[in-house]
Structure 1
Amino acid sequence: MGLRFVGIDPNTDLEHCPTVWADVEAAELVLQGWRAGPDLRAECEANSPARGGIPDSEEVIRIPARMVPVIREACDAVERSAVQ
């Protein structure tokens, strides 16, 4: 796996830190975030175009807006790897 660490929440306490990686081989983003609570998860399911809810193999996570630059960097890395 070509996993490249991109960054963590700049306001992290180093124990509970949303993190972003770029898997440059798979051309995918890998995100660690705060698990959504039951209310947000239910709202996501209710507003999803997919029927049947969120599969057990997937999760809704929260990422703070302050991480947008980190996510952009990861997107750029994945995009570059996809065109090579």
Structure 2
Amino acid sequence: MRLRFLGIYPNTPNDGSPTIWIEEETGDLIIQSWKADDATVREMQKVGSVPGHTTDVPEHETVIRLPANMLQFIPRPEAAQ
């Protein structure tokens, strides 16, 4: 696996800030960010996604909150720029 650093939360004062990397071979994004609080998870479950899809969060997954100002670091296809 080869990761490339994309960006960190702007003006971060210390450790633990949202950070984004890309896995070079697959294009997968690796995101460190704040874990969503219980109220956010409950609202997400209430809103749902696609019909028939569970809103339970499996043990091997988590829900993160990515600050809007981190979107600038997410790569876009050439045609979308």
Q: Which TM-score applies when normalising by structure 2?
A: 0.78
Q: Does 1:15 align with 2:18?
A: no
* Cα distance in 2 for residues equivalent to 1:46 and 1:21: 30
Match of 2:45 in 1: 45
Alignment of 1:61-76 (within 5 A): 61-71=64-74, 75-76=75-76
* Cα distance in 2 for residues equivalent to 1:47 and 1:2: 36
Match of 2:62 in 1: 59
* Cα distance in 1 for residues equivalent to 2:65 and 2:29: 15
1:42 to partner: Cα distance: 1.3
* Cα distance in 1 for residues equivalent to 2:25 and 2:39: 35
* Cα distance in 1 for residues equivalent to 2:55 and 2:40: 16
* Cα distance in 1 for residues equivalent to 2:35 and 2:3: 22
Would you tell me which structure has more helix in proportion to its own residues? Answer: 1
* Cα distance in 2 for residues equivalent to 1:31 and 1:6: 10
Task: Output the aligned Cα RMSD.
Answer: 1.8
Unaligned runs of at least 5 residues, structure 2: none
Q: Which runs of 4+ in 1 moved over 3 A?
A: none
* Cα distance in 2 for residues equivalent to 1:58 and 1:48: 16
* Cα distance in 1 for residues equivalent to 2:34 and 2:6: 18
1:52 to partner: Cα distance: 4.9
